[in-house]
Amino acid sequence: MGLQCGIVGLPNVGKSTLFNALSNAKAEAANFPFCTIDPNVGVISVPDERLDILEELVNPNKLVPTIIEFVDIAGLVEGASKGEGLGNKFLGNIREVDAIVHVVRCFEDDNITHVSGRVNPVADKDIIDTELQLKDLDSVEKKIQKTEKIARTGDANAKKEMAILNQYKTVLEDGKNARTLKLSKEEKEPVRDLMLLTDKPVIYVTNVEESAAVSGNEWVEKFKEYVKEEEAEVIVVSAAIESQIAEFDEAEEKAMFLEEYGLTESGLNKLIRASYSILDLITYFTAGKQEVRAWTIKKGWKAPQAAGVIHTDFEKGFIKAEVIKLEDYQKYKTEQACKEAGKMSIEGKEYVVKDGDIMHFRFNV
């Protein structure tokens, strides 16, 4: 399954610098607003040491990691919901992503102009939230107008939809994000087609100076306190350090560079882990001589759904799944040895796939 995260934030908070560091797609970085006009898409391989283990055991012709797409979306300004700046273009780009990576500036630098003339990550967040909320409110109100006409005829489903839509309207009018409304998947059905911007999962990236990359700074602490009631991930990243890491080709060089700053992992790894966490994603593997490949699925998916990520025919004609745990593969070294030791399980349609499972599907169409 494809995973796409949209990187958003006010102009000059470090969005494009971070994006450039994360991917091979180079967005133009400059000290003025709207430097990124069209959304740039960077396709990034997800680092996973389990793939390296399987590569050593299987010695395949090809190793295929799973990927995440990061989309660098043009900087937002106050009034975007009414078409200011890049307005509707920006908001339309956000609708397409699975999760929002919201970059806030938590560093002082007189050489980089802040669009509002001061560093205040809480205020920056509120500006973007307000614009997204206003756009969502407009979408909800338009649907209320249509649904209300049907509800007046006595239609029971329309009346139920109206009740849900009015709950969203109230929340948005109160200056809160749609995701704060705790409803079931079924209850959210009336707004599913609206693809509400503030209902998407969000990861906050606090962009700090190099000296604060390990423990953050006072701006980060204030910001964490401000968003603690949200169901959101908050990570500390120095885009300046990430830019330097991106210049190294070898993993050993990157590790030595990170060690100099007292870091155990890159900001990219933090961001990928946060993305998987907030979207409830896991990884399973297929392993053979032709290729060893990682596949991303939703936590809780059953075997046929997981098979469908490879090809829809696998799901339609699913018969069974042969499953080996990675620790058993490491211990017994080969698929055949795992089978002989009774460590290959045969699972049916109700099997819930676990993170790290090595799977082989049997199907017939």
| Greater model confidence, 11 or 93 | 11
Q: 255 with 26: CB under 8 angstroms?
A: no
| Greater model confidence, 38 or 101 | 101
pLDDT-above-70 percentage for the chain: 88
For residue 83, the model assigns a pLDDT of 52
Lowest mean pLDDT segment, chosen from 68-77, 171-180, 345-354: 68-77
What is the C-alpha separation between 347 and 89, in angstroms, rounded?
A: 47
**Average pLDDT of span 141-167:** 94
**Annotated binding-site residue? 206:** no
Report residue 252's pLDDT band, with 50, 70 and 90 as the boundaries.
confident
Report residue 323's pLDDT band, with 50, 70 and 90 as the boundaries.
very high
For residue 25, the model assigns a pLDDT of 40
Ramachandran angles phi, psi of 77, nearest 5°:
-130, 165
Whether the predicted pLDDT of 264 surpasses 60: yes
Whether the predicted pLDDT of 75 surpasses 80: no
Q: Among 298, 237, 340, 344, which residue's Cα sits nearest to residue 7?
A: 237
Q: 63 with 291: CB under 8 angstroms?
A: yes
For residue 346, the model assigns a pLDDT of 98
**Annotated binding-site residue? 12:** yes
Whether the predicted pLDDT of 114 surpasses 80: no
Domain ranges of the chain: 4-47+63-118+200-278, 130-198, 300-363
**Which CATH superfamily is 130-198 part of?**
Obg-related GTPase Ych/YyaF, coiled-coil domain (1.10.150.300)
**Annotated binding-site residue? 13:** yes
Q: Tens digits of per-residue pLDDT, 217-226?
A: 999 999 999 9
Q: Which CATH number fits domain 300-363: 3.40.50.300, 3.10.20.30, 3.90.550.10, 1.10.3470.10?
A: 3.10.20.30
Q: 116 with 123: CB under 8 angstroms?
A: yes
Whether the predicted pLDDT of 84 surpasses 60: no
**Average pLDDT of span 165-186:** 93
For residue 60, the model assigns a pLDDT of 96
- What's the whole-model pTM score? 0.84
CA atoms within 13 A on the CB side of 250: 4
| Greater model confidence, 85 or 153 | 153
Q: Tens digits of per-residue pLDDT, 190-205?
A: 899 999 989 999 999 9
Whether the predicted pLDDT of 116 surpasses 80: no
For residue 120, the model assigns a pLDDT of 93
Degrees, nearest 5: CA angle 154-155-159: 95
Whether the predicted pLDDT of 259 surpasses 80: yes
**Annotated binding-site residue? 79:** no
For residue 315, the model assigns a pLDDT of 97
For residue 31, the model assigns a pLDDT of 40
**Average pLDDT of span 179-183:** 88
Q: Which CATH number fits domain 4-47+63-118+200-278: 3.40.50.300, 3.30.200.20, 1.10.8.60, 3.40.50.2300?
A: 3.40.50.300
Whether the predicted pLDDT of 59 surpasses 90: yes
| Greater model confidence, 61 or 233 | 61
Report residue 15's pLDDT band, with 50, 70 and 90 as the boundaries.
confident
For residue 82, the model assigns a pLDDT of 57
Whether the predicted pLDDT of 247 surpasses 80: yes
Lowest mean pLDDT segment, chosen from 8-12, 31-35, 114-118: 31-35
For residue 299, the model assigns a pLDDT of 96
**Average pLDDT of span 6-28:** 75
For residue 18, the model assigns a pLDDT of 86
pLDDT-above-90 percentage for the chain: 61
